[in-house]
Amino acid sequence: MILIYSNNFLKINFKKPTKLFNKILFLLILIISLIIPINQCQTTNTNNNYNNNENQNGRPKLKFNKNGKFKIIQFTDLHYGEAQEYDFLNLIVQENVIEKELPDFVMLSGDMFSAYNIMTTEKYLILWEMVTRSMRKRNIPWAITFGNHDCEGPFSGREIVKMDQSYSNLSLTQENTDPNIPGITNYNLKIYSSDDSSSISSSIFVFDSDLPQCNESGSWGCIDKKQVEWYEKESNKQGGGGGGGGKISSIAFVHIPPVEVIDLWNENMVKGDFGDKESCCYYTDDSEFVSTMIKRGDIKGLYFGHDHKNDFHGLYQNSIELGYGRKSGYGSYNPKYLEGARIIELTEQPFSIKTWIRNVHGELETQQNHYPNSYSQSPRYCCTHEDHQNESSWTLFLIGYCSTVIIVSIIFYFKRSKSIQNQSYNLIQL
């Protein structure tokens, strides 16, 4: 692994670092951190898009800039907490991408933490300082939703939300307090017009897929029907009643992908790669999550993460863009390509979405077109532990697995029996 300073940001030729290099890197960055402390009182304001445009609670008001653009960086699967050296590499990813793009908003779309590796509440605070450092340094607002690993440590989801909200006024994260709606991070952020700070021009719907009651929908997480009903009510409030005028074009973020992403790959031209060759998704037959968005017509793009090697995106049923982010962190298993982030740029009038990938080096990546073909078709099932919608697939797997175990056991039994017989014969000969 080689570090190269060029054009003011750190370039990395990535391979999993050696133990010796880990120690050197850790000491180097620790020394730099001690010499040049970064805190909220010593920040440089590089985001002027919402200056003097604060909500009544003192938090930033999102707004299209004077050119009618609004830029979002989606960091997904950062997995802070795996190892110190990986945490510092995560910082480099965030620094390089943010410095290059200078977005109006950052979405942390789940699995910020490998919380199963976090043993104390104090560690959460230390890591959250790192997670948010690059945004606070540049006065850029952010928001979070949960993945399947964020709440596996000492902090519950509600405690993480409170930590985030209290950490900085730049956090736009909201907490769902309605006990009838599953999930903690379901909320809607308004984006105001470039020429009228009181007029809502677009919005960002955030959904929490870290639900324990998913069962057959997807054991990694899912979206519940009641969350979809909440979305419909919110959509109606801002004029998105479907079928015509008054709709406010929006986008949405969630961590676990819906099963329709497999249909997208199999049936449409997409940009990017299906590197995992399967999707740990959830079924939407009951919730009608994606079909409701298509029917209403206001959400134009839905973005997610979770499957680290998948990074493709494309237009689904000529209605809504579905897209993976790029795995951003160094913890957990690697992406197929370099760590980085998805950039999403909204144009106010007429509303449109432009998106691309920028990697850890700050370089713009060109994603290849993929066209449907018989050789790259992916089976339409989610890699869940309780995949009852594909009993035949799992039955074949179990039959094959059990058969292999039985055959190996029989072979072992006969070999052992023969060995015992030979030993007995040798004893008799003696």
Give mean pLDDT, residues 172-182: 94
Give mean pLDDT, residues 101-109: 97
- Asked if 255 contacts 111 with a C-beta cutoff of 8 angstroms, the reply is yes
Q: Has residue 400 got a pLDDT over 60?
A: no
pLDDT at 393: 42
Average pLDDT, the chain: 81
Q: Name the β-bridge partners of 346.
A: 70, 353
Q: How many Cβ atoms from other residues are within 10 Å of residue 383's Cβ?
A: 15
First to last CA, the chain: 63
Q: Which of 99, 159, 127 is nearest to 361 (CA)?
A: 99
Q: Which of 162, 145, 240 is nearest to 202 (CA)?
A: 240
**Contacts of residue 82, Cβ cutoff 8 Å, sequence gap at least 6:** 114, 117, 329, 330, 331, 332
**Could you tell me where the beta strands, DSSP code E, fall in 89-232?**
105-108, 142-144, 187-192, 200-206
Exposure of 169 in the CB half-sphere (CA atoms within 13 A): 11
Distance of CA 209 to the CA centre of its chain: 11
- Asked if 144 contacts 173 with a C-beta cutoff of 8 angstroms, the reply is yes
pLDDT at 273: 92
- Asked if 130 contacts 91 with a C-beta cutoff of 8 angstroms, the reply is yes
19 confidence band (pLDDT: 50, 70, 90) = low
Most confidently modeled of 86-100, 264-278, 368-382? 86-100
Distance of CA 186 to the CA centre of its chain: 15
Give mean pLDDT, residues 67-75: 97
Q: Classify 392 as helix, strand or coil.
A: helix
Q: Has residue 402 got a pLDDT over 90?
A: no
pLDDT tens-place string over residues 339-351:
999 999 999 999 9
Give mean pLDDT, residues 23-38: 45
Q: pTM for the whole thing?
A: 0.78
| Maximal C-alpha separation, the chain | 102
- Asked if 146 contacts 110 with a C-beta cutoff of 8 angstroms, the reply is yes
pLDDT at 308: 87
Higher-confidence residue: 254 or 53? 254
Q: How many Cβ atoms from other residues are within 10 Å of residue 60's Cβ?
A: 22
Give mean pLDDT, residues 187-202: 91
Say which amino acid occupies 113: F
381 confidence band (pLDDT: 50, 70, 90) = confident
Query: Rounded to the nearest 10 degrees, how much is the dihedral formed by the CA atoms of 204, 205, 206, 208?
Result: -170
Distance of CA 12 to the CA centre of its chain: 22
